A and B are shown apart, each in its own frame.
Chain A
């Protein structure tokens, strides 16, 4: 390859908002209901039904816009995007084209190449479509409208990114910001965050953009990175062999590691956008914006700075904990309940992360309460339970959010501090393990470990290992 190429990338990111009800009706947005149970005449497009905007959608969209330094459109409208498809019950989608809610924003990202801003062209609100289920057996298609009308925002970036690393940094930044706002859980795998990648290449130094393609079906950060590399190479190959890049929409197949064309620009539909006459223009006054601005949370960067000053915990821990709003909230609440920051951090960093990984869960899925974590820490602080019992209790707490105090009580897991009972057990262990006793007395220090273990086993783990050690030495 003789020429040097630069990759130019812009993203269209769809985010499902965390409202309880749909964007234009009162139906639940809950995931996983029986087909067509979260529906009504509005979200199934029945004749005569009319949409009414859910105000929470507006608040979330404005909150995301403010957090990404956008200008809020104080007179905005919804438009109809007309196209025929059975997942779209009205055969038009209510979206925004002419006056989107937010415009001209930017977010700062950091990569190995340093810090830079990625511009946000616009953010608009729209409704999701239903889901088509193709029944191969009966050779028919069925539609589930539970998702129809679930609120989305689409965040359209400027073509400001130059590498997969920048794209991932930008997506992480968006995800973090939106999670901190509570506007969405932003899970790529579950589709509550979806990214389409617009990519073109050009020779380094060129001023004009090359012809771009749009890549869809990217379900993980890894898939996005692979798709970017793949598409970059495909376009370079085309240009190097004297061919042209076609403006088209492509679908990424992550298993095969390649993409195929879905539709070309020539097939592009005319959506005949026009303002939806069923919805009145939205007028946002300064007071409304101020109210939302006031509700903006402390975002990650500020939080990290504050943690560094306030808590004596490693920087790495701070990065991980603030990397999820849920974790950070849990951390702060537990500390506020009296948990020592270092200990709280340890529980989160070690046991919590381990269990999340084992169960293939996100921090957002954590179920145990700060109250219970604080109680568990207090139980270990007062030596009411030993550390191995604490881990055992934590696992149960992680799974079922049990109250550790009650659980320890009910299961009788409290450390036995009654020296009489312990001494009796130790004496029995010494009597039953003459070989180990002899080894110890012959100078094999390690043998005492076995005896401690036997004692703990006999005590069903409820003894303080330090105390057992001390007693053994005394009696030997």
Chain B
């Protein structure tokens, strides 16, 4: 079997069985990166030398029996908003264009302890603000299924790298759909875990109360294995939760008999592409045939999610991004007169248009006199949305719907109309507002041959139900690989 076609878990097993060495796998994937990067541009930084040195080190540890986990030796790509000690971490922003962190994020450390080989840092929308990876200061990433189209975002580089076999799996972050939507657009599996499941320590914050790190990978089995490694209670992150039920791979069971699945009618109304709709409903039908109890219901409040989300996320972002001021690290303008002029010019030149738009929006909704009308109201909406989900989870184990209203748009289509881009988040952002886990699994192709994703939403800390449902569906669905990559 071609190494590049292997899933992460398959590769680790092959390494363990001495069928493949870590070095071979790393070299193979580096070669693929070399071959494909010009076309797709998934990475901001490729650490060739670091990866090769690390491959050797990991192989030794595997040989000596020090490393034996299900991901040991597997090369991984990290979204460029997670700190990696000694490796450039830019958030795809000019303002952090020269920033090399002194420490690694907790999720990355967890991966390294499990024997991961870090290939480099993936491209993203600047500071994770965007849905197409086009707001990156370092160029767009293209969708491996059709390079005229965007890979989605903001974790577009991670999703595209998995789809283009430029890594075996990747980490992304999801504030309003930034893992699930690019996973859907690129035909890979993506999971946004429950808020508090994965430590945010070392993740450069966008919307702190919504951000969560999660995997982008080739199948549900990989997803469960990665979750077992990255989920942890971290005392350095006050919002990290002490948790049980972290044996995610035990949920890799082909069985949904009696699983109660709710389909929110609100997610299938106006604005949803008919091809996406039919593919998702067909997938629901598959689960029904497998014994799940599927029924429609009204979730309500869906139309309030977008304004509430953009208010809260922008407010937090406006404050989180204040530290990028050109004083201690990052970009500083060449010429300035005095402190405030330096701040102004450094930030004006360092941030891109979408980031500035959200900083202004966030500053506005927090300003005195508007705080109650916007920010507090948005928090109340957030609480109501959580309540609506709580009620739904009294009746259902899993909520099933589309990830995004359409498949991947063409490059350049979204940026001209930010409101339209924001509306594309309609099915994903409620999950962040309510702190729930959400999983995206490929469920078909549209007529253009672009992937469609199905979203499974669970109650807090019920990732295992999502994994079980998605795994069962995936088995019924069969392989989901680009034709050109098959029979290579």
Contacts and interface: CB of A to CB of B under 8 A. Distances in A.
Nearest to A90: B323
21 contacts: A44-B328, A46-B101, A46-B329, A47-B89, A47-B324, A48-B203, A48-B205, A49-B202, A50-B237, A50-B238, A51-B238, A52-B236, A80-B319, A84-B325, A86-B325, A89-B328, A91-B322, A272-B363, A272-B371, A277-B239, A278-B208
A48 B208 contact: no
A47 B83 contact: yes
Interface in B77-130: 82-83, 89, 91, 96, 99, 101-103, 105
A82 B366 CA distance: 10
A86 B238 contact: no
A47 B201 contact: no
Contact of B316 (A47, A273, A277): A277
A176 B341 CA distance: 46
B277 interface: no
Interface string B157-201: 000000000000000000000000000000000000000000011
A189 B236 CA distance: 35
Given A41-B102, A82-B319, A277-B316, A47 B366 contact: no
A211 to B, nearest CB: 20
Interface string B303-330: 0000000000001101100111101110
Q: Which 9 pairs of residues, A with B, have the shortest CB-CB distance? A: A91-B322, A277-B209, A277-B208, A272-B366, A48-B202, A48-B83, A47-B204, A90-B323, A270-B368
Decide if the interface of chain B is mainly helix, strand, loop or mixed: loop
Interface residues of A, number: 28
A92 B375 contact: no
A368 interface: no
Interface of B: 82-83, 89, 91, 96, 99, 101-103, 105, 200-205, 207-209, 235-239, 315-316, 318-319, 322-325, 327-329, 339-340, 343, 363, 366-368, 371, 375
A274 interface: yes
Contacts of B201: 48-50
Contacts of B83: 47-48
Nearest to B315: A274
A47 B96 contact: yes
A280 interface: yes
A66 interface: no
A145 to B, nearest CB: 9
B217 to A, nearest CB: 23
Interface in A27-44: 41, 44
Most buried by A among B96, B205, B315: B205
Interface in A220-264: none
Given A50-B236, A280-B239, 16 more contacts: A46-B102, A46-B103, A47-B89, A47-B99, A47-B204, A48-B105, A52-B235, A52-B236, A52-B237, A84-B325, A84-B343, A86-B327, A90-B323, A272-B368, A274-B315, A274-B366
Contacts of A404: none
A41 B236 CA distance: 11
A164 B325 CA distance: 43
A274 B204 contact: no
A472 interface: no
Decide if the interface of chain A is mainly helix, strand, loop or mixed: loop
A45 B322 CA distance: 10
A242 B328 CA distance: 49
A53 interface: yes
A433 B352 CA distance: 99
Contacts, number: 93
A109 interface: no
Contacts of B323: 45, 47, 89-91
A48 B322 contact: no
Interface in A429-471: none
Contacts of A47: 83, 89, 91, 96, 99, 101, 204, 323-324
A279 interface: yes
A50 B339 contact: no
Contacts of A48: 82-83, 101, 103, 105, 201-205
Contacts of A44: 328
Contacts of B203: 48
Given A48-B83, A50-B238, A274 B343 contact: no
A100 B381 CA distance: 25
A46 B83 CA distance: 10
A50 B200 contact: yes
B322 A90 contact: yes
B267 to A, nearest CB: 27
B47 to A, nearest CB: 18
A84 B347 CA distance: 12
Most buried by B among A90, A274, A278: A274
Most buried by B among A44, A53, A84, A92: A84
Interface in A54-101: 80, 82, 84, 86, 89-92
A47 B101 CA distance: 8
B236 to A, nearest CB: 6
B333 to A, nearest CB: 15
B238 A53 contact: yes
A272 B319 contact: yes
Contacts of B202: 48-49
Contacts of A51: 238
Nearest to A80: B319
Interface in A272-326: 272-274, 277-280
B346 to A, nearest CB: 11
Contact of A272 (B102, B209, B367): B367
Contacts of A277: 207-209, 239, 316
Contact of A278 (B82, B105, B238, B339): B238
